[in-house]
Amino acid sequence: MPISRNECLEGRAIESLERAILAHLAANRQQAFTAEEIYQALYRPEVYDPYNPATQAEIARIERIMDTILGKGNAFARAVGTAEEIYYTST
């Protein structure tokens, strides 16, 4: 059921996931993170289940957003190790 615009504006503001990722990377400039580690930092780590389809979908969403962030030049990505796992860090 729709509500009025004024009622909506009185609600709690939702930060965009892109801003939340950028804030996390900026606050931890001396470290680099995988998409899974970013997920755990932004959400409750105790709910992290790598086999849960919802978790996998959200990690894929983080990876897509990271592509946008990388395209804007706001982060770096590097393939690290023999598995070439992708790590992200702030510019």
Q: Which domains does the chain have, with CATH numbers?
A: 5-90 (1.10.10.10)
Collapsed DSSP state (helix, strand, coil) of residue 76: strand
pLDDT band of 15, cuts 50, 70, 90: confident
58-86 burial, b at 16+ Cβ within 10 Å, e below that, comes to: bbeebbebbeebeeeebbebeeeeeeeee
pTM over 0.85: no
pLDDT band of 14, cuts 50, 70, 90: low
Answer with the residue of higher pLDDT: 1 or 78.
78
pLDDT band of 20, cuts 50, 70, 90: very high
- Average pLDDT value over all residues in the chain: 92
